[in-house]
A and B are shown apart, each in its own frame.
Chain A
Protein backbone atom coordinates (compact mmCIF):
# COMPACT_ATOMS: atom_id res chain seq x y z
CA UNK A 1 0.00 0.00 0.00
CA UNK A 2 1.06 3.59 0.41
CA UNK A 3 4.36 4.07 2.20
CA UNK A 4 5.21 7.44 3.62
CA UNK A 5 8.10 8.54 1.40
CA UNK A 6 11.25 9.49 3.21
CA UNK A 7 12.49 12.97 2.46
CA UNK A 8 15.75 13.06 0.51
CA UNK A 9 18.80 14.20 2.46
CA UNK A 10 19.72 17.74 1.49
CA UNK A 11 22.68 19.94 2.18
CA UNK A 12 20.73 23.12 1.59
CA UNK A 13 20.04 25.45 4.50
CA UNK A 14 16.41 26.26 5.33
CA UNK A 15 16.17 30.02 4.85
CA UNK A 16 13.66 32.86 5.19
CA UNK A 17 11.72 34.10 2.14
CA UNK A 18 11.53 37.73 3.26
CA UNK A 19 15.23 37.85 4.10
CA UNK A 20 16.16 36.39 0.69
CA UNK A 21 13.78 38.77 -1.11
CA UNK A 22 15.44 41.73 0.61
CA UNK A 23 18.86 40.38 -0.36
CA UNK A 24 17.74 40.08 -3.99
CA UNK A 25 16.26 43.58 -4.14
CA UNK A 26 19.38 45.08 -2.53
CA UNK A 27 21.50 43.76 -5.40
CA UNK A 28 19.39 45.32 -8.17
CA UNK A 29 21.10 48.47 -9.44
CA UNK A 30 19.91 48.67 -13.05
CA UNK A 31 16.12 48.86 -12.84
CA UNK A 32 15.79 45.12 -13.17
CA UNK A 33 12.18 43.91 -13.20
CA UNK A 34 10.87 41.53 -10.55
CA UNK A 35 7.65 39.54 -10.95
CA UNK A 36 6.14 38.26 -7.69
CA UNK A 37 3.93 35.17 -7.93
CA UNK A 38 0.63 34.53 -6.17
CA UNK A 39 0.54 35.12 -2.41
CA UNK A 40 3.66 35.12 -0.30
CA UNK A 41 6.24 35.73 -3.02
CA UNK A 42 4.58 39.00 -4.02
CA UNK A 43 3.72 39.92 -0.41
CA UNK A 44 7.39 39.73 0.54
CA UNK A 45 8.44 41.58 -2.61
CA UNK A 46 6.01 44.38 -1.71
CA UNK A 47 7.10 44.44 1.92
CA UNK A 48 10.77 44.55 0.90
CA UNK A 49 9.96 48.03 -0.45
CA UNK A 50 7.98 48.88 -3.57
CA UNK A 51 10.02 49.53 -6.70
CA UNK A 52 8.53 50.82 -9.97
CA UNK A 53 9.87 47.71 -11.73
CA UNK A 54 7.96 45.29 -9.48
CA UNK A 55 4.88 43.41 -10.66
CA UNK A 56 2.59 41.71 -8.15
CA UNK A 57 0.42 38.84 -9.32
CA UNK A 58 -2.84 38.65 -7.39
CA UNK A 59 -4.26 35.47 -8.98
CA UNK A 60 -3.34 33.34 -12.00
CA UNK A 61 -1.44 30.82 -9.87
CA UNK A 62 1.63 29.52 -11.71
CA UNK A 63 1.99 32.34 -14.22
CA UNK A 64 4.86 34.31 -12.65
CA UNK A 65 7.48 32.66 -14.89
CA UNK A 66 5.41 32.98 -18.10
CA UNK A 67 4.77 36.68 -17.34
CA UNK A 68 8.49 37.14 -16.72
CA UNK A 69 9.29 35.34 -19.98
CA UNK A 70 7.03 37.73 -21.88
CA UNK A 71 8.68 40.74 -20.26
CA UNK A 72 12.12 39.28 -21.00
CA UNK A 73 11.25 38.84 -24.69
CA UNK A 74 9.85 42.37 -24.88
CA UNK A 75 12.86 43.99 -23.17
CA UNK A 76 15.97 41.95 -23.96
CA UNK A 77 18.31 44.55 -22.47
CA UNK A 78 16.65 44.52 -19.04
CA UNK A 79 17.17 41.64 -16.60
CA UNK A 80 13.89 40.10 -15.42
CA UNK A 81 13.58 38.14 -12.17
CA UNK A 82 10.58 36.10 -11.12
CA UNK A 83 9.76 34.78 -7.67
CA UNK A 84 7.54 31.72 -7.50
CA UNK A 85 6.35 29.30 -4.81
CA UNK A 86 7.02 25.60 -5.28
CA UNK A 87 3.29 24.81 -5.31
CA UNK A 88 2.71 27.47 -7.95
CA UNK A 89 5.50 26.14 -10.15
CA UNK A 90 4.06 22.61 -9.92
CA UNK A 91 0.89 23.98 -11.50
CA UNK A 92 2.76 25.18 -14.59
CA UNK A 93 5.83 22.94 -14.97
CA UNK A 94 5.48 23.00 -18.76
CA UNK A 95 6.62 26.61 -18.81
CA UNK A 96 10.13 25.44 -17.88
CA UNK A 97 10.39 23.64 -21.24
CA UNK A 98 9.09 26.71 -23.06
CA UNK A 99 11.65 28.92 -21.31
CA UNK A 100 14.44 26.41 -21.95
CA UNK A 101 13.62 26.31 -25.65
CA UNK A 102 13.58 30.10 -25.98
CA UNK A 103 16.59 30.51 -23.67
CA UNK A 104 16.20 34.21 -22.85
CA UNK A 105 19.58 35.48 -21.63
CA UNK A 106 17.97 38.05 -19.35
CA UNK A 107 15.68 35.83 -17.25
CA UNK A 108 16.26 34.48 -13.76
CA UNK A 109 13.68 32.28 -12.03
CA UNK A 110 13.73 31.89 -8.26
CA UNK A 111 11.67 29.21 -6.53
CA UNK A 112 10.84 29.55 -2.85
CA UNK A 113 10.48 25.91 -1.85
CA UNK A 114 8.75 25.31 1.48
CA UNK A 115 7.22 21.99 0.39
CA UNK A 116 3.76 23.32 1.29
CA UNK A 117 0.91 25.49 0.12
CA UNK A 118 1.62 27.84 2.98
CA UNK A 119 -1.04 30.43 2.27
CA UNK A 120 -3.93 27.98 2.05
CA UNK A 121 -3.17 26.25 5.33
CA UNK A 122 0.30 24.77 4.93
CA UNK A 123 -0.79 21.50 3.31
CA UNK A 124 2.17 19.57 1.80
CA UNK A 125 2.46 19.70 -1.99
CA UNK A 126 2.54 16.39 -3.87
CA UNK A 127 6.22 17.04 -4.55
CA UNK A 128 7.11 17.80 -0.95
CA UNK A 129 9.05 14.69 0.02
CA UNK A 130 9.66 13.04 -3.33
CA UNK A 131 10.59 15.52 -6.04
CA UNK A 132 13.64 17.69 -6.58
CA UNK A 133 12.65 20.95 -8.24
CA UNK A 134 16.16 21.63 -9.53
CA UNK A 135 16.27 18.18 -11.13
CA UNK A 136 12.91 18.92 -12.73
CA UNK A 137 14.20 22.22 -14.11
CA UNK A 138 17.39 20.62 -15.36
CA UNK A 139 15.38 17.86 -16.97
CA UNK A 140 13.24 20.50 -18.69
CA UNK A 141 16.40 21.79 -20.34
CA UNK A 142 17.33 24.63 -17.98
CA UNK A 143 20.97 23.66 -17.65
CA UNK A 144 21.82 26.53 -15.30
CA UNK A 145 19.63 25.29 -12.46
CA UNK A 146 20.87 25.07 -8.92
CA UNK A 147 19.99 25.02 -5.23
CA UNK A 148 21.27 27.90 -3.14
CA UNK A 149 23.15 26.31 -0.24
CA UNK A 150 22.79 29.29 2.10
CA UNK A 151 22.33 33.08 2.04
CA UNK A 152 25.85 33.81 0.82
CA UNK A 153 25.45 31.29 -1.95
CA UNK A 154 22.11 32.88 -2.90
CA UNK A 155 23.75 36.30 -3.22
CA UNK A 156 26.57 34.82 -5.28
CA UNK A 157 24.05 33.16 -7.59
CA UNK A 158 22.16 36.45 -8.03
CA UNK A 159 25.40 38.27 -8.85
CA UNK A 160 26.24 35.55 -11.37
CA UNK A 161 22.80 35.82 -12.92
CA UNK A 162 23.24 39.57 -13.36
CA UNK A 163 26.45 39.12 -15.35
CA UNK A 164 26.15 35.73 -17.05
CA UNK A 165 23.89 34.74 -19.90
CA UNK A 166 20.68 33.13 -18.66
CA UNK A 167 18.20 31.68 -18.29
CA UNK A 168 19.03 30.95 -14.66
CA UNK A 169 16.98 28.87 -12.26
CA UNK A 170 17.66 29.19 -8.54
CA UNK A 171 15.79 27.18 -5.93
CA UNK A 172 15.94 27.93 -2.21
CA UNK A 173 14.59 25.92 0.66
CA UNK A 174 12.59 28.10 3.00
CA UNK A 175 10.73 27.67 6.28
CA UNK A 176 6.95 27.68 6.69
CA UNK A 177 6.54 31.36 7.62
CA UNK A 178 3.79 33.41 5.95
CA UNK A 179 4.54 36.55 3.96
CA UNK A 180 5.82 39.56 5.88
CA UNK A 181 3.01 41.89 4.74
CA UNK A 182 0.27 42.23 2.15
CA UNK A 183 0.42 43.95 -1.21
CA UNK A 184 -2.04 46.75 -2.01
CA UNK A 185 -4.51 44.84 -4.17
CA UNK A 186 -5.12 47.34 -6.96
CA UNK A 187 -4.42 45.49 -10.21
CA UNK A 188 -4.83 48.43 -12.57
CA UNK A 189 -2.47 50.55 -10.52
CA UNK A 190 0.01 47.68 -10.23
CA UNK A 191 0.02 47.23 -14.01
CA UNK A 192 0.23 50.93 -14.79
CA UNK A 193 3.09 51.55 -12.33
CA UNK A 194 4.94 48.55 -13.73
CA UNK A 195 4.61 49.88 -17.29
CA UNK A 196 5.87 53.28 -16.11
CA UNK A 197 8.73 51.51 -14.34
CA UNK A 198 9.65 49.65 -17.52
CA UNK A 199 9.58 52.87 -19.54
CA UNK A 200 6.67 51.66 -21.68
CA UNK A 201 4.38 54.47 -20.52
CA UNK A 202 5.02 58.06 -19.57
CA UNK A 203 3.52 59.76 -16.55
CA UNK A 204 0.76 62.14 -17.61
Chain B
Protein backbone atom coordinates (compact mmCIF):
# COMPACT_ATOMS: atom_id res chain seq x y z
CA UNK B 1 0.00 0.00 0.00
CA UNK B 2 1.54 3.26 -1.17
CA UNK B 3 -0.14 5.42 1.48
CA UNK B 4 1.02 3.16 4.26
CA UNK B 5 4.58 3.38 3.01
CA UNK B 6 4.47 7.18 3.00
CA UNK B 7 3.36 7.23 6.63
CA UNK B 8 4.25 4.11 8.57
CA UNK B 9 1.16 2.69 10.25
CA UNK B 10 3.03 1.99 13.45
CA UNK B 11 3.70 5.67 14.17
CA UNK B 12 0.02 6.52 14.27
CA UNK B 13 -2.44 5.86 17.08
CA UNK B 14 -5.58 3.87 16.25
CA UNK B 15 -7.77 6.98 16.40
CA UNK B 16 -5.52 8.83 13.96
CA UNK B 17 -5.77 5.95 11.51
CA UNK B 18 -9.57 5.90 11.83
CA UNK B 19 -9.82 9.67 11.34
CA UNK B 20 -7.53 9.70 8.32
CA UNK B 21 -9.26 6.72 6.74
CA UNK B 22 -12.65 8.39 7.13
CA UNK B 23 -11.24 11.47 5.42
CA UNK B 24 -9.63 9.49 2.64
CA UNK B 25 -13.05 7.96 1.89
CA UNK B 26 -14.84 11.33 1.98
CA UNK B 27 -16.85 10.44 5.10
CA UNK B 28 -17.77 13.88 6.37
CA UNK B 29 -20.77 13.40 8.62
CA UNK B 30 -20.06 11.80 12.00
CA UNK B 31 -22.89 11.78 14.55
CA UNK B 32 -22.14 9.89 17.75
CA UNK B 33 -23.18 8.92 21.24
CA UNK B 34 -19.93 9.02 23.17
CA UNK B 35 -17.87 6.35 24.86
CA UNK B 36 -14.82 6.96 27.03
CA UNK B 37 -12.53 5.12 24.61
CA UNK B 38 -13.72 7.32 21.72
CA UNK B 39 -12.87 10.58 23.53
CA UNK B 40 -9.73 11.48 21.57
CA UNK B 41 -11.22 10.42 18.24
CA UNK B 42 -14.32 12.54 18.89
CA UNK B 43 -12.22 15.53 20.01
CA UNK B 44 -10.01 15.34 16.92
CA UNK B 45 -12.98 14.97 14.55
CA UNK B 46 -14.52 18.07 16.14
CA UNK B 47 -11.24 19.94 15.65
CA UNK B 48 -11.08 19.11 11.94
CA UNK B 49 -13.26 21.38 9.75
CA UNK B 50 -13.52 18.60 7.16
CA UNK B 51 -16.09 16.90 9.38
CA UNK B 52 -19.63 17.74 10.42
CA UNK B 53 -19.83 16.03 13.79
CA UNK B 54 -22.23 16.26 16.70
CA UNK B 55 -23.74 14.20 19.51
CA UNK B 56 -27.21 12.72 19.15
CA UNK B 57 -29.59 11.72 21.92
CA UNK B 58 -29.82 8.13 20.73
CA UNK B 59 -27.84 5.89 18.36
CA UNK B 60 -31.00 5.20 16.30
CA UNK B 61 -31.24 8.90 15.62
CA UNK B 62 -27.68 8.90 14.31
CA UNK B 63 -28.55 5.97 12.03
CA UNK B 64 -31.50 7.96 10.65
CA UNK B 65 -29.31 11.01 10.12
CA UNK B 66 -26.56 9.25 8.17
CA UNK B 67 -29.19 7.34 6.17
CA UNK B 68 -30.87 10.59 5.12
CA UNK B 69 -27.51 12.16 4.36
CA UNK B 70 -26.44 9.17 2.23
CA UNK B 71 -29.58 9.49 0.15
CA UNK B 72 -28.81 13.20 -0.19
CA UNK B 73 -25.29 12.48 -1.42
CA UNK B 74 -23.21 12.89 1.75
CA UNK B 75 -21.28 10.04 3.33
CA UNK B 76 -21.38 9.43 7.07
CA UNK B 77 -20.39 7.08 9.86
CA UNK B 78 -21.79 6.60 13.38
CA UNK B 79 -19.66 6.22 16.51
CA UNK B 80 -21.08 4.38 19.52
CA UNK B 81 -20.49 2.00 22.39
CA UNK B 82 -21.57 -1.67 22.55
CA UNK B 83 -24.62 -0.73 24.61
CA UNK B 84 -25.57 1.76 21.91
CA UNK B 85 -25.41 -0.92 19.27
CA UNK B 86 -27.82 -2.96 21.39
CA UNK B 87 -30.49 -0.28 20.81
CA UNK B 88 -30.24 -0.61 17.01
CA UNK B 89 -31.72 -3.89 15.71
CA UNK B 90 -35.04 -2.28 14.75
CA UNK B 91 -33.40 0.54 12.79
CA UNK B 92 -31.01 -1.90 11.10
CA UNK B 93 -33.74 -4.36 10.15
CA UNK B 94 -36.34 -1.80 9.06
CA UNK B 95 -34.20 0.99 7.57
CA UNK B 96 -30.53 0.37 6.75
CA UNK B 97 -30.83 -3.21 5.48
CA UNK B 98 -34.08 -3.23 3.47
CA UNK B 99 -33.35 0.15 1.86
CA UNK B 100 -29.76 -0.99 1.11
CA UNK B 101 -28.05 1.91 2.84
CA UNK B 102 -24.28 1.59 3.43
CA UNK B 103 -24.45 2.42 7.11
CA UNK B 104 -20.92 2.53 8.55
CA UNK B 105 -20.72 1.99 12.30
CA UNK B 106 -17.76 2.12 14.65
CA UNK B 107 -18.52 0.33 17.89
CA UNK B 108 -16.20 0.74 20.85
CA UNK B 109 -16.36 -2.63 22.52
CA UNK B 110 -17.21 -2.68 26.21
CA UNK B 111 -18.09 -5.81 28.11
CA UNK B 112 -15.08 -8.00 27.45
CA UNK B 113 -11.34 -8.33 28.20
CA UNK B 114 -11.44 -6.77 31.63
CA UNK B 115 -15.03 -5.55 31.99
CA UNK B 116 -16.02 -4.56 35.52
CA UNK B 117 -19.73 -3.93 34.95
CA UNK B 118 -21.73 -7.15 34.68
CA UNK B 119 -24.51 -5.46 32.67
CA UNK B 120 -22.01 -4.29 30.06
CA UNK B 121 -20.64 -7.80 29.68
CA UNK B 122 -24.15 -9.16 29.09
CA UNK B 123 -25.01 -6.46 26.55
CA UNK B 124 -21.78 -7.21 24.72
CA UNK B 125 -22.85 -10.82 24.22
CA UNK B 126 -25.87 -9.70 22.21
CA UNK B 127 -23.86 -7.78 19.62
CA UNK B 128 -22.38 -10.47 17.38
CA UNK B 129 -25.48 -12.70 17.45
CA UNK B 130 -27.54 -9.69 16.29
CA UNK B 131 -25.06 -8.90 13.53
CA UNK B 132 -24.95 -12.56 12.48
CA UNK B 133 -28.73 -12.98 12.60
CA UNK B 134 -29.04 -10.14 10.08
CA UNK B 135 -26.10 -11.52 8.05
CA UNK B 136 -24.34 -8.18 8.43
CA UNK B 137 -20.68 -7.67 7.66
CA UNK B 138 -18.65 -7.02 10.80
CA UNK B 139 -15.02 -7.02 11.80
CA UNK B 140 -13.41 -6.93 15.20
CA UNK B 141 -10.28 -4.85 14.99
CA UNK B 142 -7.58 -5.95 17.41
CA UNK B 143 -4.33 -5.01 15.65
CA UNK B 144 -2.89 -1.65 14.72
CA UNK B 145 -1.11 -3.03 11.65
CA UNK B 146 -4.38 -4.32 10.18
CA UNK B 147 -6.53 -1.36 11.12
CA UNK B 148 -6.17 0.88 8.07
CA UNK B 149 -6.65 -2.02 5.69
CA UNK B 150 -9.75 -3.26 7.49
CA UNK B 151 -11.38 0.16 7.86
CA UNK B 152 -10.55 1.35 4.36
CA UNK B 153 -11.63 -1.86 2.62
CA UNK B 154 -14.78 -2.18 4.74
CA UNK B 155 -15.91 1.36 3.97
CA UNK B 156 -15.33 0.80 0.26
CA UNK B 157 -17.17 -2.53 0.36
CA UNK B 158 -20.13 -1.05 2.25
CA UNK B 159 -20.52 1.66 -0.37
CA UNK B 160 -19.94 -0.61 -3.37
CA UNK B 161 -22.35 -3.28 -2.15
CA UNK B 162 -24.82 -0.86 -0.50
CA UNK B 163 -24.70 -2.84 2.72
CA UNK B 164 -24.12 -1.79 6.34
CA UNK B 165 -20.94 -2.70 8.19
CA UNK B 166 -20.01 -2.73 11.88
CA UNK B 167 -16.37 -2.09 12.74
CA UNK B 168 -15.80 -3.19 16.32
CA UNK B 169 -12.93 -1.50 18.14
CA UNK B 170 -11.61 -4.18 20.49
CA UNK B 171 -9.90 -3.33 23.80
CA UNK B 172 -6.91 -5.16 22.29
CA UNK B 173 -6.65 -2.23 19.87
CA UNK B 174 -7.78 0.70 22.01
CA UNK B 175 -6.74 -0.36 25.50
CA UNK B 176 -10.39 -0.32 26.50
CA UNK B 177 -11.64 1.16 29.73
CA UNK B 178 -9.28 0.17 32.51
CA UNK B 179 -10.16 -0.45 36.10
CA UNK B 180 -8.06 -1.54 39.01
CA UNK B 181 -9.44 -4.46 40.96
Q: Are A55 and B61 in contact (CB under 8 A)?
A: no
**Nearest opposing residue in chain A for B66, CB measure:** A70
Known contacts A63-B60, A188-B98; is A69 also within 8 Å of B54 by CB? Answer: no
Known contacts A63-B95, A190-B99, A195-B71; is A73 also within 8 Å of B61 by CB? Answer: no
Q: Mark B47-85, 1 if CB is under 8 A from A, else 0.
A: 000001011111011111111111111101000000000
Q: Are A74 and B64 in contact (CB under 8 A)?
A: no
Q: Are B61 and A75 in contact (CB under 8 A)?
A: no
Q: Are A62 and B60 in contact (CB under 8 A)?
A: yes
Q: Are A75 and B72 in contact (CB under 8 A)?
A: yes
Task: Scan residues 60-89 of chain A and give those whose CB is less than 8 A from a CB of chain B.
Answer: 60-75, 78
Identify the interface centre among B29, B57, B61, B91: most chain A CB within 10 Å of its CB. Answer: B61
How many Å lie between the Cα of A138 and that of B163 in the bound state?
37
Identify the interface centre among A59, A63, A188: most chain B CB within 10 Å of its CB. Answer: A63
How many Å lie between the Cα of A72 and that of B94 in the bound state?
22
Contacts of B61 in A (CB 8 A): 63, 66, 92, 94-95, 98
B134 beta carbon closer than 8 Å to chain A: no
Shortest A68–chain B CB gap in Å is: 6
Task: Scan residues 99-128 of chain B and give those whose CB is less than 8 A from a CB of chain A.
Answer: 99-101
Task: Scan residues 90-104 of chain A and give those whose CB is less than 8 A from a CB of chain B.
Answer: 92-95, 97-98, 101-102
How many Å lie between the Cα of A60 and that of B63 in the bound state?
10
B4 beta carbon closer than 8 Å to chain A: no
Can you list 9 A-B contacts (CB < 8 A)?
A58-B94, A63-B64, A63-B91, A67-B68, A68-B68, A92-B61, A187-B100, A188-B98, A190-B99
